[in-house]
Amino acid sequence: MSAPSSAGVTDPAGHSARRAWAAVSVLAVVGTLNYADRFLPAVLAEPIREDLALSDTAIGVINGFGFLVVYALIGIPIARVSDRGAYGLVISGCLTLWGAMTMFGGAVQSGFQLALTRIGVAIGEAGSTPAAHAYVARNFAPGRRAAPLAVITMAIPLASAASLIGGGLLAQALGWRTAFVVMGALSIAFVPIVLAVVGRRQSPVTEVVVAQPVPVSWWAILRKPSYLTIVAGAAAVSVAGYALTTFAPAFLMRARGLTLGEVGLQYGIASGVTGIVGLIVVGRVADRLSSIDPRWLLWLVAAMIAALIPFSTLAFLVGSSTLAVCFISLSYVVGTAYMAPSIAAIQRLVPAEQRATASAIFLFFSAILGSVGPFVAGLISDALKADLGAMSLGRALLYVVPVMHLTAIACYLLASRRYLREIVD
């Protein structure tokens, strides 16, 4: 079978276009399970906080800083294995680990025990996303990658909706512990499908670059200014996105009076719909415009964030619960739709044998810096709670989200200035 063609690539052992798209669909489901397990403690933050007697700062550390630091550190070594073609083996192994650790989360009796299970989930999830990105780069031509990456990234809004609706309703009916066990079991059950469709491994790619010599060391990409500024922009988006993901359900419950079930249905449906539509539109537009000028992968992200900043601000100021749900959901689009064009952009900065590693480094810095978001938001909320009460969390998010979105715009525009001269493929 032959892979989708791309100039300069000799790829006799790649998957056919039909199988590659089938694998993308499977990887989208894997990503959905990945992010659903990641989002679940944030969705259930209020009952977990009350049951285990935790502060907002503790929730920010467990669901944000602690989780993301481990996720970032483990991702790069696992990605090196993925770059040898072991996509299916890496993803299925990671799926098994994070599913089991999510199930163990349903039995914890303290915040420390919950943190340990979340570290296990972080280790499992760390290797899955870079391997999926490398699979796409391995089996799709450079000008055709944003669309499949957008499909895989669609896992984020799908997982948000699934964890909010399913986890919220299940937790309200049977308790948050049962929700953990059920979500973890679903991940483990999907492992055989990954091995059957994605396969265990593919042979390494032999790529001939005519335009310019490739970097001889994996860390050479860190010398590229455009790569560093893309990473900085993505990190700013992550700071806002992780703060929003960690605390938005709790904000809607405390400040806007919604129940856990109402948050699950209303916010779950709204964020799922806006996230999916945003990904589809941005993915298709990114592929079309980047075929004219690759810098559109960066310009499009900056334009999208600029258009949504008003909603990122108003979300925490309006008094209506309905408007708050809608505006938070629109702000949430930034944290999902930026990913596909950003990954497509960095994949063009490295040779084939370094693509999973490039994604892992990208995710490393996004996670390490992004982990500051929930931690700082939790600290600000706890500091303001004596004066503002239930409104302290909304004020904390107002200080974090719009400011980080403005920072991201500046970084993506700066990255576009040197991007063309640093492209490899």
pLDDT at position 7: 37
DSSP bridge partners of 206: 10
When the pLDDT of each residue in the chain is averaged and rounded to a whole number, the result is 81
- Pairing label, strands 206-207, 9-10: antiparallel
Q: What DSSP character marks residue 215?
A: P
pLDDT at position 9: 38
pLDDT at position 201: 60
Neighbours of 19 (CB within 10 A): 16
| Position 179, amino acid | A
Spatial CA neighbour of 198 closest among 370, 24, 71: 24
10: exposed, middle or buried (C-beta count within 10 Å: 0-12, 13-18, 19+)?
exposed
pLDDT at position 214: 44
Spatial CA neighbour of 155 closest among 67, 39, 326: 39
Q: Helix 392-415 to helix 321-337 angle, to the nearest 10 degrees?
A: 30
Q: Which residues of the chain have pLDDT under 70?
A: 1-15, 64-66, 76, 79-80, 82-85, 142-143, 146, 199-219, 353, 356, 425
CA gap 14, 20 in Å, rounded: 9
Record the pTM.
0.69
Residue written as token pair 């539109």: 281
Tens digit of each residue's pLDDT (9 = 90 or more) over 310-329? 999 999 999 899 999 999 99
Q: What DSSP character marks residue 217?
A: S
Helix (H, G, I), strand (E, B) or coil at 270: helix
**Of all residues in the chain, what percent carry a pLDDT higher than 90?**
21
Q: Are residues 393 and 254 in contact, defined by beta-carbon separation less than 8 angstroms?
A: yes
Computed on alpha carbons and rounded to an integer, the radius of gyration of the chain in Å comes to: 20
Tens digit of each residue's pLDDT (9 = 90 or more) over 104-114? 998 999 888 99
Residues 6+ apart with CB under 8 A from 327: 311, 312, 314, 315, 318
| Position 104, amino acid | F
pLDDT at position 209: 40
Q: Are residues 357 and 79 in contact, defined by beta-carbon separation less than 8 angstroms?
A: yes
DSSP bridge partners of 10: 206
CA gap 376, 300 in Å, rounded: 29
Distance between the two ends of the chain, CA-based, in angstroms? 23
Helix (H, G, I), strand (E, B) or coil at 9: strand
Q: In the numeric block, which tokens belong to residue 402? A: 């719009």
Q: In the numeric block, which tokens belong to residue 250? A: 């709790």
pLDDT at position 323: 94
Neighbours of 383 (CB within 10 A): 15
Q: Are residues 11 and 353 in contact, defined by beta-carbon separation less than 8 angstroms?
A: no
pLDDT at position 83: 63
Structure-derived torsion over alpha carbons of residues 366, 348, 297, 417, reported in degrees to the nearest 10: 90
